């Protein structure tokens, strides 16, 4: 039998019954990992994905848990351990969105967004990292978002930004056997959800991004697989921005042109900058 890159490894991908999470779970299973597909309300979709992966020759199983409940997440981790023997790769993909302004944000919504986008990472790290350390190999990858770098996405942006801090802290704490990294995609090209909210949103983002394109689920999955491999074995505590340059700080108003010609014949050119003081 031909060995695939992740043969013998076990991967747990949260929120992986549908959408991007299903893409990530599928990529890991096709790379040889025994894959735990997590769902909350989408059991049928999870079981359909598992059946598809098994039909392709992979090994997968579906596990249900409320992503906002630490007790249920710990139970799920125990169940995955019981069936597969441990978790080597944890992909934190939970990420419900909410941009209600803070002054109108209900407290239960605050709790839900923080618990799923942030607290779940800590809970599952506690649950699976000891086994990774015992086996002297592990990968923890968090799917953050471009919202981590802007300040107008309310509690969602807050949670995603805090997840990057947690990524770095865990990278230090869990070394040397476990690498901990994050991926911060911008708007995803093949995500259907945003099209139902604003059909112009993707077009506007393409225009505003330096590379004039959007990231795809295949590209995100490709980076997840790469982070599990030897190429990135010495990369930890890093956040990979996959947003075509969208979050690079820029200033739209351009001054100029202001040409700097250098010092010629001993001239003092400092006065040429008077027009752009400060």
pTM of the model: 0.89
Domain locations along the chain: 10-276
pLDDT bin (cut points 50, 70, 90) of residue 260 is low
CA distance 93 to 109: 19
| Residue-wise pLDDT tens digits, 78-95 | 999 999 999 999 999 999
Q: Which helix (H) or strand (E) holds 32?
A: none
pLDDT at position 157: 96
Instruction: Assign domain 10-276 to its CATH superfamily.
Output: NAD(P)-binding Rossmann-like Domain (3.40.50.720)
pLDDT digits (tens, 9 = 90+) for 162-177: 999 999 999 999 999 9
How high is the pLDDT of residue 258? 55
Starting from the edge strand earliest in sequence, which strands make up the sheet with 10-13, in order? 60-64, 34-39, 10-13, 89-92, 138-143, 178-185, 239-242
**Annotated catalytic residue 156:** yes
| pLDDT digits 0-9 by tens, 112-137 | 999 999 999 999 999 999 999 999 99
Q: Answer for the pair 126, 87: CB distance below 8 angstroms, yes or no.
A: no
CA–CA separation, 218 vs 27, rounded Å? 9
Higher-pLDDT residue of 244 and 259 is 244
Q: With a cut of 90, say whether residue 217 has pLDDT above it.
A: yes
Name residue 61's beta-bridge partners: 36
In angstroms, the CA 27 to CA 58 distance is: 10
Q: Which of 156, 177, 253, 260 is catalytic?
A: 156
Report which DSSP code applies to 56: T
pLDDT of 226 higher than 80: yes
Angle at the Cα of 247 (from 243 to 251), degrees rounded to 5?
Answer: 140
């Amino acid at each position: 039998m031909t060995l695939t890159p992740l043969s013998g490894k076990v991967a747990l991908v949260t929120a992986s019954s549908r959408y991007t999470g299903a893409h990530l779970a599928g990529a890991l299973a096709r790379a040889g990992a025994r894959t735990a597909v997590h769902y909350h309300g989408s059991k049928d979709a999870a079981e359909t994905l598992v059946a598809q992966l098994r039909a392709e020759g992979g090994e997968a199983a579906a596990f249900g848990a409320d992503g906002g409940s630490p007790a249920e997440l710990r139970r799920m981790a125990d169940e995955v351990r019981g069936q597969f023997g441990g978790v080597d790769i944890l992909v934190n993909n939970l990420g419900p969105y909410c941009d209600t302004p803070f002054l109108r944000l209900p407290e239960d919504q605050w709790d839900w967004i923080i618990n799923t986008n942030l607290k779940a990472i800590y809970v599952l790290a506690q649950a699976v990292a000891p086994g990774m350390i015992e086996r002297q190999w592990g990968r923890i990858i968090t799917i953050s978002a471009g919202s981590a770098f802007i300040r107008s996405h309310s509690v969602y942006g807050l949670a995603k930004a805090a997840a990057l801090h947690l990524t770095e802290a865990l990278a230090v704490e869990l070394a040397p056997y476990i690498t901990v990294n994050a991926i911060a995609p911008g708007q995803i090209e093949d995500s259907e959800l945003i099209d139902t909210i604003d059909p112009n949103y993707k077009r506007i983002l393409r225009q505003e991004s330096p590379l004039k394109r959007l990231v795809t689920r295949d590209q995100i999955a490709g980076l997840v697989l790469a982070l599990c491999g030897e190429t990135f074995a010495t990369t930890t505590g890093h956040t990979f921005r996959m947003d075509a340059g969208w979050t690079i700080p820029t200033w739209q108003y351009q001054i100029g042109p202001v040409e700097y010609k250098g010092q010629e014949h001993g001239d003092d050119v400092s006065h040429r900058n008077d027009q752009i003081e400060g």
